[in-house]
Every structure is written in structure tokens, then in C-alpha cells.
Chains A and B, each alone.
Chain A
Amino acid sequence: MEKIEKQEVKILQTIGDKIWAFFNSLKLTLTVLLSLAVVSIIGTVVEQGKPLEFYAKTYGERISSYVLTLGFHDMYHAWWFFTLLVFLAANIIVCTIDRFPQKWKASLEKRVDVAPQFIKNLGNSASFTVNTINGGDVFSVKNRVIEILKKKRYKIKNTDVSDGAAVFAWKGTAGRFGSDIVHVSLITILTGAIIGSFFGFKDYISINENETVNAPKSNFQVRLDKFWLDYYESGEIKQYNSQLTVVENGKDVLSKKIWVNEPLKYKGVWFYQSNYGMAYDRIKEARLVLKDKKKNQIIGEPFVVKWLEPFKIPGTNLAVNLAGFVSDFGFDEKTKQIYPRSPEHNNPAIQVIVYDNEKPISGPWLFLNYPEIFATIPNTNYDLIFMGYQGLQYTGLSMTKDPGTNIVWIGSIIMALGFILAFFIFNKKVWGRIQKAENGVDIYIGGMINKNKIMFEREFSEITACLKTEVTQK
């Protein structure tokens, strides 16, 4: 029994090792990164998120069935795209975990006493001898080496060895960890994105001026107090603005003017200025005038009737109430229903209820474009003419809640830190060994850098030149 269990553990271990080894590979990194690059192109060529018929029309029945099966129409949410991202994440995590402890240990380890051969094998190295006559005793040479390296802002450790001295200098150790920090930041950003996709939502609301609307999936309302446009002097639109008020439990709790680039934020929900327009089913007010039927003459001044506010026409027994509006008049023959053909104000029509001494006598639809139709008020000498109207502005707000967003920004800041370390701080190490020789001192000096070799070559030759002149002069 025990034997079998042990075997099982062993098999599991080898499987685990194999998986680990699979993900612990830079070749996998390259494969996944380049695959992601290539497949992402598909999503910019095939239009995303269109209705299914669109693909059949564009690509034909056969190809479109492939497009749909492979999920090219919603590529960035396709399972295989997601799989690639999971591979990338696993690759990042495994590589980072695998390499980090070694790196950490190596960065703490300060080997001061190294053999001359080790120094000679470094990427940059030099060796020369100083005569005793020129002041070349081990102690003073060592101090000069340290001085020069200190001037270059190296941190230094040194020790005396049997036949001389050894110096180790280093700087920019943190630069080695830049890549790890970038990896952590990438995982953070992915985490934020996943949280957002699970716990976030998007919605859209449109609010007419002075109307209050329930915010979807929230326990508060939003009122539009005003919508207006700002213009440049040249007449181009400069900005869309909405004055919004958040209403909670019947109370105004927050008022804010929003525009594109300046959303309203309340309880983690953001409201964005998205679009705007005129309501298609109501207006603010209409301008009407009476006409004498027989004389075919306008009577008096035009008067303004507000939406659903009965208005008594001066000098008559008549009153009118503005009770209906459609932006683009349509009439369904079958259902006898009036409906808007489009939200565009192509053929605006109002319904006016006319009262004679508070008794409704007619309710005609009046047309702005065809003022003569249905204009007559029965049993009177008047025609009622629709002269103009002021539409009701509405504002369109995108609404989002994404609790992952802040995690994404935190990830971004971590990434910036990682980049600074990875690309602008370089880990440099210099070893020096000073040894007594027959009639002087042998100096071995060598160094290496983790990247940016050309820059270091220059620094290193400066150090050796400096050392040569100073040591031999003194």
C-alpha cells in the first residue's frame, strides 16, 4: 500500500515538474507573445460584436460559419484568446518565481575575495603593475582604488588577503529586480481586468431635462437639471455639458456639472457624457396662433403653450392643452396608432386638445411642415396653426461600475517603477585585486553590468585610466 502511494506521489511530482518546466521557459514567452500579436490582428480586421447576419452578408455562409465557430466576431473574449492570456500569466508567474530567489541571493552575496583569473574572465578587465618606486605598496594602492570607485558612487567592501588586498564595488542592485516588478505589475493589471469583468457592469440611460431616472442596478436616482452645448467662436461644438443631481431617498445628495472627460462619480458608479439630443416623444413648449377661417387672416399674436399645461387663449372661450408629440409622424393603418418613424425631427407633429368653456371639443394632430392639415377647430371661426416648438433636450449617459479599475492603476504605477529600475538603473559590479609582486604591486581590475554594455565599457575604461595615472603618479 505504502509503496503505491509513494509511487503516486512520485508520478504527480514528475507531472508537476513537467508542467513547471513547460511554463518556466523563455521560448514559451516568445511563442505566446508573438501568437498574441498575430491573433490580435484578426480582431482588428474582422469587425467585432456585430449581429450574426452581418457576418453572413460580409463573408458568405461558409466562411462566416468558421468565423463564428472560432469566435472571430468576439475575438478578445474567445476561449482560445483567453487561454493564450492564461498561458502568458502562468509563464510570467512561473518564470518570476523560479528566478527570483536565486537573484535575491546573488544580490545579497558580496564575494570580495576572488581569484585574479575570475577578474580576467569578466566582460571588462585590465591588469597592470606598479613599481615600488612609484609608491606602490598594497595598502595605498587599495585606498586609491577605493577612492576612485567611491567617486563613481559605488558601494564598496574590501578585505586584506594573505598576499595583498581585494576590493568589491557595486551599484544599482535594484535594477536587477526591475523585470520582476514589471511581471508583478502585469499580473496585477490582469487581476484588475478579471475583477472588472466579473463584478463590473456597463449601462446606458437617457434623461430628459428636469426628469429623474432610476440608475440601473443602484439604489439612487439621477436628475438632469440642464443640458447645454458650448461653442467655439467659429461655431464648432466645444463641449457637451450636463448638470446632474443625484437623488437618494428623495433627497438631493450630490450635484455636479459633467462633460466629456469629466464624469460624475457616486458610490463607485461613473456617469459619462455620452450623447445628447431632442426627445422624440415630448417637447418643452409649442408656439401656436389662431387664424380667421373666412378672412384667412392671422388673429392677434402667437402664443406659447407649455407641455401639459392648459392654456386659455386670450379673447376667446377656447383653451388648449399640449398633450402629444412625435418627432417623425407615422400612422399605422392597421392598429390606427400614431408612432414616431424615427427619433429625427423630420416631420414633427403635436397633439392639441382644444376646450370650449372647459369642454373638450377636439384633439387634432397639427403638423409643422403642413400647417393647413386638421387646422380647423369645429363649430368656430378659427383655424389653429402650429408655428414652432422648443424641443426637450435629453442627455445620454454611459454608466459604468468597475471595481477592478483601481487595481489596474495600481498595477500601472508598479509597472512604471519596474521600468525605471529595469531600463534606467543598471547593476554594475567591479572587482579589484591588489597583489604583491617582485618589485611592485600587480593590480587586477574587472567589472560587469547586467545590460547597457557600451555605457559600462566607457565607465570602466575611465576607472582604469584614472587608476593608472593616479597610482603611477603618486
Chain B
Amino acid sequence: MSSRKKNLLKVIVLGDSGVGKTSLMHRYVNDKYSQQYKATIGADFLTKEVVIDDGSQAATMQVWDTAGQERFQSLGVAFYRGADCCVLVYDVTNPKSFDNIKSWRDEFLIHANVSSPETFPFVILGNKIDIEDSKQKISAKQGQEMAKELGNIPLFLTSAKDSINVDVAFEEITRGALQQNQNDADAFKDDFNDAINIQLDDESSSCAC
């Protein structure tokens, strides 16, 4: 039996309500942005075919957008199972969303039942940097300090609206997810044995015994 490799990267996007999770996802997957805010209900996902680095590897990235309103109360463990990367999003104009990043991370680790929290790939996105400086409440330095405090998590300051840093951020997300995915795949085994010795030919038809 040929060996099967899982090539689906499951990425989960978390963050407070209104930080731009859906917009980031749509910007990355469809290269579109909508000004209108529409709260996500439950969870929604988009897929994108990705080619990694030198083009030697291809995978399907499944980006799961979540509803930030109810935090972890609305989605069951099955939703988080098998996640390859978690993207934590805050809004640079909303300090509370920034402050909540830590608890989003902790909640994810608990709900996804991550076996090695130290090595699980997270990426932090500080979104809405297109908004004028005077309204930005979270500096890049603050973001970096927190990313460092949480274990040197990669941080990107993004704008889904102006398409700033979104692709670069998702490249990093892909890299992290792929690495995690390969770690998981090492434990992956074939579902089926080699062919077994059963003949369906009705030999009894030629021999009555």
C-alpha cells in the first residue's frame, strides 16, 4: 500500500470580536476586503492551496475563522482537534483585545489539548495598522514584548484593509503549520494492511466438499 501523507493544514484564527479575523482570512484567501462588519456565527473556514518556500511542497491550507463573541464556549473540542497552527489576532486600536491575547492562547492550548505547548506554532497579528497613528493604542514595541513573553511567537502588524503584511504573515503561518503537520504525520500510519489471502472465487462450485 502506498504511504499516505496528510497535506491539509488546519489553521485556527482566534481573537476578540471585531479585531478583523474574518477580514484577514478573506484578504489572504480571496484578496478581498469588505468594510462591512458582519459577526461570524460559530465557525467558518476557507481553503487555499499553498506552495511552500522553493515550491517543493504543496498543501491545502484550511483557515478556520471563529466567532470571537463567546470565546471558547460555543465550539467543541472537535473543532480544535488536529489544528496545525493558531493565529492570535488583536486590534492595534483596542487595548482590551491585545490584553486578551494571552488568555486566547491559554484557552486554545487547553481546548486543543496540545501535547507540547512550548513547540506548538502560534502567530500573533496586530491588525488595523491602516488606522491613523493617533488612534493606535498598542505600539509595535508592546506587541513585540508580549510576543517575546509568550515564547518568541512571531508577530506581524497587518492591515486586512490595505493588504499590509497579510501575505507575509500567512507565509509564516504556513511554515509553522507545515512543521507541526509533519511532526504529526510522523505518527501517521496506513489504515490498511497489505493484501490478504482471501479468494472470493467460489471454489466450492467446482468441488462440493
B partners with A: no
Interface residues of A (CB under 8 A from B): none
Interface residues of B (CB under 8 A from A): none
